[in-house]
Structure 1
Amino acid sequence: MSFEPVWGPGSRAIILGSWPSPKSWEQGFYYSHPQNRFWPLLAALAGEKTPGSIPEKKALVLRHGLALWDVLEACDIEGASDASIKNPVAVDLPGLLEKVPVRAVFCNGAASHKLYGKLLEPATGIPAVKLPSTSPANASFSMERLRRIWGQALAPWLDAGNNG
């Protein structure tokens, strides 16, 4: 079973990963591999310092009108290799969207985007924006390049979170 989604009544956009890494399972929260750039990136885009604790990470997401989850509720996977995912079972994103006013979907990496398109987009009707993965395996993307691409995509949503 996947982690619980992070969301609040002010969540206007959701960021979806594919499936937690072994390090994330060990730590009990999303993007917990020390070399994953998700938290430093999101903090930089929000103009905040990188959160350390799980409550600080949740607060960062919620303060900026975002939600966070994975595409998959369950799957068979070898280590952290998205390419090895078999027997994927989607989360109940349509159920969450009945409670949360999400208007935009962002996928952290190609695997989550592909899985979202196949398993969830037909039910949600919301096309997803594919963002480059923050995983350390995506070494071809520098932090600066990630900031530029993620920043352009998330800027309107981060601003919306701050204003209301």
Structure 2
Amino acid sequence: MHCIGFPPSIDSSCRILILGSMPGVRSLEEQQYYAHPQNRFWPLMARLLSEREAPAAYEERLRMLLRRHIALWDSIGACERDGSLDSAIKKEQGNDFTALLRDYPRIHTICFNGAKSAQAFRRYNRALLSRTDLSFHALPSTSPANARWRMDMLAEAWGKVITPHEAS
């Protein structure tokens, strides 16, 4: 199946950019980042940002992040894939981060939601990796396929980068 990712959820005040690899089947069907109900991304973000819970409405979820200067996008813009597993991704095309960072110069922290996101970013953006004004953080995936990482473990790892103070 040919998959095309989403545009970034971003505004000019964003300082943190969280990158997935490519939206899964459920996310593509619903046209929403992290739409699978077992993906722990939204509950994790609510917890790290000291919210009672993640908003039910998708647009409110995006606003919760944007209020905290957090943008969302993916390392891969298009690919071939059957199913939702990152290991099934073939013929990937990276997104244009040189242009994104030029258009949104306040971004200083880039977080990778899982190994495939980090791997794809490195493959297509080698020149950006040497920029001293950017910090890069490979974090464990919030995907239900990464079941060995419990929510408390994810919160500990992600909480070193995404904190209410940093994201305010």
Normalising to structure 1: TM-score of the pair?
0.92
Residues 66 and 161 in structure 1, CA contact (< 8 A), matched pair in contact too: yes
Partner AA of 2:76 in structure 1 = L
Cα offset, 1:119, TM superposition: 1.1
Q: What is the correspondence of 1:17-96 to structure 2 with a 5 Å cutoff? A: 17-48=20-51, 49-96=53-100
Range that drifts further, 145-154 or 125-134:
125-134
Aligned counterpart in structure 2 of residue 143 of structure 1, from 151, 156, 168: 151
Range that drifts further, 46-55 or 14-23:
46-55
Partner of 1:110: 115
Aligned length: 160
Partner AA of 1:91 in structure 2 = N
Partner AA of 2:111 in structure 1 = F
Question: Structure 1 stretches of 5 or more lacking a match?
Answer: none
Distance in 2 separating the partners of 1:128 and 1:122:
13
Question: Structure 2 stretches of 5 or more lacking a match?
Answer: none
Question: Is the partner of 1:62 in helix, strand or coil?
Answer: helix
Residues 10 and 161 in structure 1, CA contact (< 8 A), matched pair in contact too: no
Q: Are 2:9 and 1:6 aligned?
A: yes
Q: For residues 41-98 of structure 1, what are the alpha-carbon distances to aligned partners after superposition, in whole Å with 9 as ceiling and x for unaligned?
A: 0011001121211210110110111110001110111211111211111111211111
Which has a greater percent of helix? 1
Distance in 2 separating the partners of 1:28 and 1:142:
26
Cα offset, 1:127, TM superposition: 5.3
Partner AA of 2:103 in structure 1 = K
